[in-house]
Structure 1
Amino acid sequence: MTSASYIFLAGASRGVGREIAQYLTAQQLKVRAFLRTAAVASELEKIGIEVVQGDALNVGDVERAMLTDEPIHTVISTIGGLPSEGERADYPGNRNLIDAAVKAGVQKFILVSSIGAGNSVVALSPQVLAALGTVLVEKEKAEQHLIASGLTYTIIRPGGLKSEPATGNGVLTEDPHIIGSINRADVAQLVVRCLNSDRTNNKIFSAIDRNMQFEQREFAEFTLQ
């Protein structure tokens, strides 16, 4: 990254996105966070993050936040939604971010999706698939839109997410059959490590904690270096 370019982070208000924000600022990277609500804006600004308020479901908001004179090195998106929130941003919100990133000449787009999307559907039990199927369809549509966009991409599909401190045991694998849990902080570490790793360009990964695999099966861990 050049000193003039910055990271555009969508989804920094909670969960994995909030953890990513902490790691990025710890590395003294320039970060612009795109927030739907102002609830955590002051907390992010205190750690040196520029905050732009807007709704990912609104194309105008997204383009206003992203199409500026400052070059964007990477867009990172962790946005999704809860079943209680009405229209989910998993596909339409990410589609707007991806389209704006193309217009902005972004170098890389990292999308945090979910195990169960795309070919990793084979990792899920019928019960889990029945519960999450509609959400996973939306996430897969976002993945496919990103792949078709022409942007350099990395797609990370975490397993079951936990809100515990990082263990340092988060791993990436291209094996779609792997299922397990991972702490949100470890997902964030993996995302940040993918920022400047050309080896992760145009690849799709599942992410789990190597000590939280549900079904013990051999798999190849992806080496970031």
Structure 2
Amino acid sequence: MEKILVAGATGTTGNIIVELLNQSQYFEPIAMVRKEDQKSQFENKNIKTVMGDLEGDVSGAVKGMDKVIFAAGSGGKKVVEVDQEGAKKLIDASSKNDIKKFVMLSSRGADAPEKADDLQDYLKAKHNADEHLKKSNLNFTIVRPGTLNNNKATDHIVLTDKLSQKGEISRADVAQVLTRVLHDDVANHSTFEILQGDTLIGEALDKKSES
């Protein structure tokens, strides 16, 4: 089984990712936590943890890992420190440790933050982190969902390089996409946008991987 470092494991989406990976026959989640008292919520479920603070040193967190999912976010409070610089630090540490794939949870609008009506600072931070990942030596997948909601998983999405419409998608469906692209033959060196849609997640990713 491949060891997957989940940055942002204590967040809503990150928590779903950890649970999905914990049920997988291919991957073992390692939850990255900032504080000692955050360990128990995972260790009570026999899920391993590693200490790492995106505002501090993350170099030790990636040691021994195979792949990384970055699903961390500051909630708009520290977009430069966490969403941008924290991501860049984890990308650099992953490069030095021969991580086989880096999966980035980005956001729709991160390709052109200057055109956004709101959240420009956040989207600029995500844009800078995404560009840093693209310029690294890592195999990557950058996933840019529309507005996130807490609805149940639908298992169906619309996936395209650039969406023409606005819309929402559940965190549960986003988490499924992020875990599926960990596979070696899925969506390598690619960036795409997703919303809730009519195509099964697996089919949508298969088409993307073939294109």
TM over 0.5: yes
What residue ranges of structure 1 are gaps of 5+ in the alignment? Answer: 212-220
Partner residue of 2:189 out of 193, 197, 202: 202
Which residue number corresponds to residue 214 of structure 1? none
Alpha-carbon distance in 2 for matches of 1:87, 1:203: 24
Closer, same or farther: CA 88–206 of 1 in aligned 2, 3 Å: same
Deviation at 1:177, TM superposition (A): 2.9
1:90 aligns with 2:90: no
Deviation at 1:39, TM superposition (A): 4.8
- String of CA shifts for 1:172-218, please: whole Å, max 9, x gaps: 2212434310000000011111111524001101111016xxxxxxx
Q: Check conservation: 1:161, 1:184, Cα contact below 8 A.
A: yes
Q: Check conservation: 2:163, 2:194, Cα contact below 8 A.
A: no
Q: Check conservation: 1:113, 1:156, Cα contact below 8 A.
A: yes
Equivalenced residue count is: 202
Partner residue of 1:73 out of 54, 66, 77: 66
Amino acid at match of 1:46: N
- String of CA shifts for 1:148-179, please: whole Å, max 9, x gaps: 01100000001100012211123422124343
Which residue number corresponds to residue 12 of structure 2? 15
Closer, same or farther: CA 84–102 of 1 in aligned 2, 3 Å: closer
TM-score, normalised to structure 2, is: 0.87
Q: Following superposition of structure 1 onto structure 2, how do residues 1-225 of structure 1 map, counting pairs within 5 Å? A: 3=1, 5-28=2-25, 29-59=27-57, 62-67=58-63, 70=64, 72-84=65-77, 88-119=81-112, 129-210=116-197, 222=205, 223=207
- String of CA shifts for 1:114-156, please: whole Å, max 9, x gaps: 001015x59xxx7xx2321111000000000000011000000
Q: Check conservation: 2:146, 2:167, Cα contact below 8 A.
A: yes
Q: Check conservation: 1:159, 1:206, Cα contact below 8 A.
A: yes
Greater shift in the superposed pair: 81-90 or 190-199: 81-90
What residue ranges of structure 2 are gaps of 5+ in the alignment? Answer: 199-203
What is the RMSD computed on CA atoms of the aligned residues? 2.2
Closer, same or farther: CA 131–38 of 1 in aligned 2, 3 Å: farther
Deviation at 1:105, TM superposition (A): 0.4
- String of CA shifts for 1:65-103, please: whole Å, max 9, x gaps: 222xx3x22110011212345854111000010000001
Alpha-carbon distance in 2 for matches of 1:153, 1:203: 7
| Identity over aligned pairs, percent | 33
TM-score, normalised to structure 1, is: 0.82
Closer, same or farther: CA 178–41 of 1 in aligned 2, 3 Å: farther
Closer, same or farther: CA 39–159 of 1 in aligned 2, 3 Å: farther
Alpha-carbon distance in 1 for matches of 2:21, 2:162: 28
Closer, same or farther: CA 34–206 of 1 in aligned 2, 3 Å: same
Closer, same or farther: CA 171–192 of 1 in aligned 2, 3 Å: farther
Amino acid at match of 2:59: E
Closer, same or farther: CA 40–166 of 1 in aligned 2, 3 Å: farther
